[in-house]
Amino acid sequence: MAHRGLQARMVVAMSILFGFYVLVAALFAPVVGIPVVIAGSVLFVGVQYVVGKKLALRSVDATDLDPDVHPEIHDRVETLAESMEIDKPRLMAGRMGVPNAFAIGRKGAGTVVVSDSMLRMVKEGHMSMDELEGVLAHELAHIKNRDVIVMLLGQSVASIIGLTVFFVVQLVTDDIPIVGFIVAYLLSIVTQMLVMVFVLAISRYREYVADEEAAEHTGNPDALARALAVIQEVGTHEEAPEVDGATASMCIFGGERGLLAAVFSTHPPTEKRINRLTEMAD
């Protein structure tokens, strides 16, 4: 399925991010040289990718999903992976406090983590296997579309720009160290947040695309819509634990949304996602 809207947004957002990166590179290139700037950027992204993946799995105590205990889940994921023309990802279970799931990695080395609470809901009949399949298809779509890599690149550029602003302001305000540090820190945070607005706008749209592709490959948009409704109901209950910040951006459900969170959220409103899926089923 061709997503021209996603492609157009990607071109605009990535062009803006690349422009920011070029400005940073132009600032440091005369000092350390272009090869060092490029090598340092690649190393920075690589470390973020490797460390981020390990931290995400460790934060939820992820363990491999036993195919002998969950054969149907493995079979359905294998079928979906073949349909999407990607390698079957590694399947793991993790502790997230609420029914949830997330994907990490790339096409040839992806991992999908499902919360133990969601698996328990399926076992107890509170969620059907078709609904779980919709969630899994959504995560596989993220791997297929390289969403994790795109988000990582965007976050890395934002981090690099934030660090650059910090060090530049520190140099300018070197004669007032304490005040300079505070000003540099605050400006770096604000700058990083402004850059992330472009990344998050893409992230929200990519959630819609993953929903559409999941519905396409399962042939059952209603199942994913029902799954999202169940996840939202349980996840926004007043006694529900907060979604861990380290994995919230990757999860199918990112937690409760306030006014500020809506602006800087990685996910669109769940109600809108459900409505779009319902319209696909009609």
Q: Which residues are catalytic?
A: 139
Backbone angles phi, psi at 115, to 5 degrees: -70, 145
Model confidence, pTM: 0.82
Contact 112, 100 (CB under 8 A): no
Dist. CA 92–CA 63, nearest whole Å:
5
Backbone angles phi, psi at 51, to 5 degrees: -65, -40
Statement: residue 256 has pLDDT above 60: no
Res 138: pLDDT: 96
**Which range of residues forms the domain containing residue 175?**
4-281
Could you give the residue ranges of the DSSP H alpha helices within the chain?
Answer: 4-32, 34-59, 71-84, 116-123, 129-144, 147-172, 177-218, 221-235, 259-263, 270-281
The position carrying tokens 């939820």 is 60
Q: How confident is the model at residue 239 (pLDDT cuts 50, 70, 90)?
A: very low
Could you give the dihedral angle defined by the CA atoms of residues 208, 213, 219 and 221, in that order, rounded to the nearest 10 degrees? -10
Counting the structural domains of the chain, the total is 1
130-173 pLDDT per residue, tens: 999 999 999 999 999 888 887 887 788 888 888 888 888 888 88
Count of Cβ atoms closer than 10 Å to residue 68 Cβ: 6
Q: How confident is the model at residue 90 (pLDDT cuts 50, 70, 90)?
A: very high
Q: How confident is the model at residue 38 (pLDDT cuts 50, 70, 90)?
A: confident
Q: How confident is the model at residue 192 (pLDDT cuts 50, 70, 90)?
A: confident
Statement: residue 262 has pLDDT above 60: no
Dist. CA 219–CA 198, nearest whole Å:
32
Q: How confident is the model at residue 72 (pLDDT cuts 50, 70, 90)?
A: very high
